[in-house]
Amino acid sequence: MAKIAVLERKCTGCGQCRAACPFGAIDMVRGRPEMNAACRVCGLCVKACPQQAIVKLETRSAEVDKSQWKDILVFAEVSGGRLHPVCLELAGKARELAAPLGFKVRAVLVGCNVGRYAEELRHYGVDEIAVYDDPALAYFRADAFAACVEDYIRQVKPSVVLVGATSLGRSLAPRLSTRFRTGLTADCTRLELRENTDLVQIRPAFGGNIMAQIVTANTRPQFATVRYKVMDSPVRREEASGVILPRKLPKAVGESKARCVSVTPVPPKKSISDAEILVVGGRGLRKEGDLDMIRELASLLGGDWAVSRPLVEKGWATNERQIGLSGRTVRPKLIITCGVSGAIQFASCMKDSERIVAINSDRAAPIFDVAHVAIVDDLYQVVPELIEKLKEAQA
């Protein structure tokens, strides 16, 4: 791990380091530079200091004995009275990663009356399901859930821990990685496991302009969160396998200071991530009212509608309708994009759809690189004609 340090005996307070920092990460406090949370440890301030008063310190972590850490653990989230589909996708991916190394696939369930979900996991090739089942775990409390998962990790020492990038998972995973003083890669889109058990965690970076490969080589376990609909869903097996292992609650659960005072159920919402047919409007739409034809086409096809980021930024739709890194990941059977350029931030979150139809007047639009059917034409000509043909077919 690297950090920036200031040698006060050399610093004159000239401020050149602050002027050189592209992230606004240096504050001048009492005439001396101090690094704030925006610091990326890029080292530009080190080069800019005429007095050589700023240095970059490198610390190396002691390497872990990787042979002591085996298998892959999946956190199995229960949501809305069912196993969240993302944990089944992770179980399938874990089996794929574990097979070449002879690792086992384990899962951990935390909650109240979750035994039936453990039984369901046995149909997805999970070798061992640890169950922390108690009324004290009826509602999510980050410290209590983290204590349970930590307890099991310390017992079995998995090399890899996979967590769904849900609201619950995004709260739980950072707490776990902090407890083990190791890294966490969020919102991974691909995972690969090397022969030396290092997990290659691949995700978009720098606004989606590059695909970063992240490896935490010197610590274990390796934590990663993965979005829903990114991995392939495994086929449910008829025969159940694997062992269900009831676990005692750690002492820390009873010591939790958090208490559930009241519960207000949130009405279920239909998500574009679950849609099998999607029609998407993009920057090529001229005005907000033109979204009506996107909605009409989606309705005639029996699907749902979505947008790309520019339309959310214009205020034409909410983030819940957005496909992209800052929106939702989708994998429908059919997706029709209308006036969407197809930047990597968008394409990486829909490229695995079964059938992609792209409508764009720009032949060089990146969306055509992932499309199965390319229509190079004005969407204002194509979409109304599609609507008319569908109406005629229904009539």
Tens digit of each residue's pLDDT, the chain (395 residues) = 688 999 999 999 999 999 999 999 999 998 999 999 889 999 999 999 999 999 998 866 667 899 999 999 999 999 888 999 999 999 999 999 999 999 999 999 999 999 899 999 999 999 999 999 999 999 999 999 999 999 999 999 999 999 999 999 999 999 999 999 999 999 998 999 999 999 999 987 776 677 889 999 889 999 999 999 889 888 999 998 999 999 999 999 988 888 888 888 877 778 999 999 999 999 999 999 999 999 999 999 999 999 999 999 999 999 999 999 888 999 999 999 999 999 888 998 999 999 999 999 999 999 999 999 999 999 999 999 999 999 999 88
- The number of beta carbons lying within 10 Å of the beta carbon of residue 113 is 12
Q: Which helix (H) or strand (E) holds 218?
A: none
* Separation CA 95–CA 191 (nearest Å): 12
Could you give the dihedral angle defined by the CA atoms of residues 172, 173, 175 and 176, in that order, rounded to the nearest 10 degrees? 120
- Indicate where the chain has its CATH 3.40.50.1220 domain(s): 272-394
- Indicate where the chain has its CATH 3.30.70.20 domain(s): 2-58
**What 3-state class would DSSP assign to 186?**
strand
* Separation CA 202–CA 192 (nearest Å): 8
Side-chain half-sphere exposure of 41, counting CA atoms within 13 A: 9
Q: Which CATH class is domain 66-254?
A: alpha beta
Going by C-beta distance under 8 Å and a sequence separation of 6 or more, which residues neighbour residue 386? 297
- Indicate where the chain has its CATH 3.40.50.620 domain(s): 66-254
Q: Which of 193, 228, 208 is nearest to 83 (CA)?
A: 228
CA 261-265-267 angle, to 5 degrees, is 160
Question: What is the CATH code of the structural domain delimited by 2-58?
Answer: 3.30.70.20
Q: Which amino acid is at 153?
A: I
Q: Which of 289, 390, 287, 288 is nearest to 336 (CA)?
A: 390
Side-chain half-sphere exposure of 82, counting CA atoms within 13 A: 5
Six-digit token string for 183: 């890294």
* Separation CA 93–CA 125 (nearest Å): 11
* Separation CA 185–CA 168 (nearest Å): 16
Question: What is the CATH code of the structural domain delimited by 272-394?
Answer: 3.40.50.1220
